[in-house]
Amino acid sequence: MDPSSTSPCELDREFAPQIAQLLAAPPLQSAQEYYDRLIQSGKHDGIRVNFSSKHGKGVCANKEFAEGDLILKDRILVGAQHSLNKIDCTVCSYCFRFVGSIEFQIGRRLYWQSIGSNSDCTNRRHYHGSDAGSSASSSGATKENSNTLPEEALRSLINGNLSLPFTDHFGLPRVVACRGCEEERYCSQSCADSDWETYHSLLCTGSKTDPSRRSAIHKFVEHANGTNDIFLVAAKAITLTVLRYNKLKRQPQKNTDESNFSLLMEAWKPLSMGFKKRWWDSVALPDDVDFCDEDSFRQQIRDLAYTSLQLLKDAIFESECAPLFSLEVYGHIIGMFELNNLGLVVASPVEDYFIHIDDLPDDEKEEAEKVTRPFLDALGEDYAVPCEGTAFFPLQSCMNHSCCPNAKAYKRDEDTDGDAVIIALKPISKDDEITISYIDEDVPYEERQAQLADYGFICTCPRCQEEKPN
């Protein structure tokens, strides 16, 4: 059945031919050229992307790698920090590096932790985390903590008027504010400018934004925060494409409807490489939903996406990019993040700080802890919540799964931003395929296959072949 015939979105019917082109698999030559340019521009000469009829895309080694070698540091194409995680971690909105200072990070988190004890915040967290397919992570600030500190002390930490011992060993980039709003922070002017040009100029709610559009953006964000913040990443994917389109259109060319759509296709190309099933078709059925209720569940998910899309259209709709705002395209964008999400994780420097204090010689440690212990007690067991979010990594997403992988995603001490870091688990020979595990490969065969079914394939790696029941 034609999806556009059953969609509640009029754009699905009005632009059905264009939508079909946007969602079609890119021609092999075009895809190969795209990945070759991406590898060359990122200087990732140790790998190449290959295509096969059996597995589609795959990443192969162009040289030998020893165990522990860095294979790839893949820059995020589109990513966003989980909404609730922003309470615990203040990071650059573009590269996701922690910003400010150790004092700023501790003070701000404890301040919001005290605010978060009220019922309004608790309810908002509950509804966010309970929705199907929610990508939000649990937050340390949700835990009740009796070790409260005076608000004046917390403000002194945030404002830089109170210094903790040995924090000069953990210098963080200063906070650079968005040029329009006070909601986004950056580690440098370069990141601020890049975010503005790539995504944020269409989503900024600063005073220079038209009031009606600012109100619409707020409504979209509130809905995403209250349901599923994967919609925020999908919105950034659309703004990325719209802004790329506008940039291409400013270049001299023949101005016709046909050429305009060609520009849209070119602007869409990076996202077309991650094409997957629609979100409501691919999201795993929750354990508390009976199989007989699956159709109703998936209809609810589609309706949720449609509500989000309508709010996004009110905020940033551009008629020349209308096919991007169809429910079909929106569903495929969300599905791409659902299935290709390696996970955006950046370790907190607060953890390193308290480890450093704990490792001091006894006399220095005792003196330092007179100051730091009240703050550590107030933070509680989850004193070092990492930055967490959802992201799409263009090269990492090409890596195929194996239950006996030869590589893994692993952040080293020097990896302080949101880029995906792939490390060799064992020696890899030139021309070998580089594989990672999409799941916890330590679970039994049946459980692994059940989890991988959500990705739409049956694993036939050597380990699964060996463990497969007769």
Domains and CATH numbers, the chain: 70-75+394-467 (2.170.270.10)
**Strand pairing category for 387-392 and 344-346:** antiparallel
Residue 254: its pLDDT value, please? 55
φ, ψ of residue 178 to 5 degrees: the values are: -60, 145
Helices (H) and strands (E) in the chain, counts: 19, 12
- Cβ-contact 245, 320 below 8 angstroms: yes
Instruction: Show Cβ contacts of residue 86 under 8 Å, excluding neighbours closer than 6 positions.
Output: none
**Is the sign of the CA dihedral 180, 184, 190, 193 positive or negative?**
negative
DSSP reduced 3-state for 52: strand
Give Cα separations from 262 to 18, 26, 57, 253, 259 (angstroms).
10, 13, 25, 11, 5
Residue 257: its pLDDT value, please? 54
Residue 255: its pLDDT value, please? 55
Give Cα separations from 164 to 103, 167, 357, 382 (angstroms).
7, 6, 11, 19
Residue 342: its pLDDT value, please? 64
pLDDT in tens, the chain (470 residues): 456 558 899 999 999 999 999 999 999 999 999 999 999 999 999 999 999 877 789 999 999 999 999 999 999 999 999 999 999 999 999 999 999 999 999 999 999 888 765 434 433 333 233 344 444 444 454 444 556 788 899 999 999 999 999 999 999 999 999 988 988 999 999 999 999 999 999 999 998 899 999 999 999 999 999 999 999 999 999 999 999 999 999 887 655 555 889 999 999 999 999 877 899 998 888 888 898 999 999 999 999 999 999 999 999 999 999 999 999 999 999 999 887 666 899 999 999 999 999 999 999 999 999 999 999 999 998 888 999 999 999 999 999 999 999 999 999 999 999 999 999 999 999 999 999 999 899 999 999 998 888 787 889 999 999 999 87
Residue 246: its pLDDT value, please? 95
Residue 179: its pLDDT value, please? 87
DSSP assignment of 273-302: TT----HHHHSPPPTTS-GGGHHHHHHHHH
Query: Is the pTM above the cut of 0.85?
Result: yes
**What is the rounded distance in angstroms from the CA atom of residue 294 to the CA atom of residue 317?**
32
Specify the DSSP class assigned to residue 100: S
**What is the rounded distance in angstroms from the CA atom of residue 375 to the CA atom of residue 382?**
12
